[in-house]
A and B are shown apart, each in its own frame.
Chain A
Amino acid sequence: MSWITFGRIADALSIVSFVISLGIFRKIYAKAETQKEVYRIEREELLSQLSALQKNIWCDDLVSVKIQDQLQRAMYEYLQKYIFISSPVCIFHTYRCIHLLRVGLNESNSSKIRQDINYIMARLSKKE
């Protein structure tokens, strides 16, 4: 195969991959817009939930399995609904909180979980 033919094939493939990447970016953009809309409608509900759970755990000393499940669920919900409009730091805090809750809330991970919740609550306080 001559180099000219090889070059033409490479050109054709790069045009095809450019078109495909345009399609992918378009889909991601559409998803992000949908998530922004959902965020605008539902952020306050999730914020209220996290605020209540934070007070239940650290002010009311409520650390039952049910409460921890609610907290983990809220974090999963945040991840599922807003991953495309979240910064890497947000995603890190969410994943870390979910990971720490897998072993349960205890003295060693309590402050980290609290930091994660505070960060996500601060993020949810921001209107899109």
Chain B
Amino acid sequence: MDKQTSLLFIEKAIEKTKSNQLNWKILEDYSVPKSVSENYFLNPDNMNGYTVIGPGCFVSEYKSGLLLFFTFAPDTCMNPPHGCGFSLRIQDDISEYSVEIARTNKDTDINSQLIRLYNLIDDKISNHGSQILGDTGQTAALLVRDFLNS
């Protein structure tokens, strides 16, 4: 995909994420359809030995397909987005393989937009988690506080 199209796609993903049209979830917690589960990891050769960071990978349903956002790092202990590579992919319900829209490379514009999207998604998911915590009953909230202070 050419650079302008990739940038436009990422820009659209950012706008839709901000307006909550895309509902992102952590990939590890998502029940990916069997047809997709074997095919969404990138060929390791494409990312120079980087490994996928599970909690940093996200998925969002879009119409009949899935939007996938992968985070790669040379070390699983890395703190994304610092030092990490990213890949934005789209998977439909017919094709065997997902299509890569953009990934971290030498282009500063694409890299900065991917990092921007990662921060947005991470913030949305963190806020959603805080809301769930806020909605729990009084007993559960006390338990959580107690656990955190232990």
Give me the interface of A with B, judged by CB distance under 8 Å.
Answer: 44-45, 47-49, 51-53, 55-56, 60, 62, 64, 66-67, 70, 73
Contact call A55/B123, Cβ cutoff below 8 A:
no
Output the least CB separation between A87 and chain B (Å): 22
CB of B123 within 8 A of CB of A66, answer: yes
Dominant SS among interface residues on chain B: helix
Chain B residues at the A interface, C-beta cutoff of 8 Å:
14, 18, 81-83, 106, 108, 111-116, 119-120, 122-123, 126
Q: Which residues of B contact A53 (CB under 8 A)?
A: 115, 119
Task: Identify B115's interface contact among A44, A52, A73, CB under 8 A.
Answer: A52
B122 — nearest CB in chain A belongs to which residue?
A: A66
Q: Would you give the shortest CB distance from A23 to chain B, in whole angstroms? A: 35
Contact of A67 among B14, B83, B112, B119 (CB under 8 A): B119
A48-B111, A48-B112 given; A56·B119 CB < 8 A: yes
B119 lies within 8 A of A48 (CB): no
B108 engages A44 (CB within 8 Å)? yes
Q: List 9 A-B contacts (CB under 8 A).
A: A45-B111, A48-B112, A49-B81, A51-B108, A52-B113, A56-B119, A60-B119, A62-B119, A66-B122
Question: Given known contacts A49-B81, A49-B82, A70-B82, is B111 in contact with A55 (CB within 8 Å)?
Answer: no
Determine how close the nearest CB of chain B comes to the CB of A18; give it in whole angstroms: 44
Main SS of the interface on chain A? helix
A62 to B117, CA, bound (A): 11
Known: A60-B18, A62-B120. A55 touches B82 (CB 8 A): no
Residues of chain A contacted by B119 (CB below 8 angstroms)? 52-53, 56, 60, 62, 67, 70
Residues of B within 8 A of A55 (CB): 112, 116
How many angstroms from the CA of A67 to the CA of B118 in the assembled complex? Answer: 11
Partner of B123, one of A44, A45, A52, A62: A62
Complex CA gap A66/B115 in Å reads 14
In Å, the complex CA distance between A1 and B106 comes to 69
Nearest chain B CB to A52 CB, angstrom units: 4
**Top 7 closest pairs, chain A to chain B, by CB:** A52-B115, A48-B111, A51-B112, A52-B116, A48-B112, A52-B112, A56-B119
Q: Given that A60-B116, A70-B82, A73-B82 are contacting pairs, would A48 and B108 also be in contact in the complex, using a CB cutoff of 8 Å?
A: yes
Q: Which residues of A contact B81 (CB under 8 A)?
A: 49, 52, 70
Check B120–A56 contact: CB distance below 8 A: yes
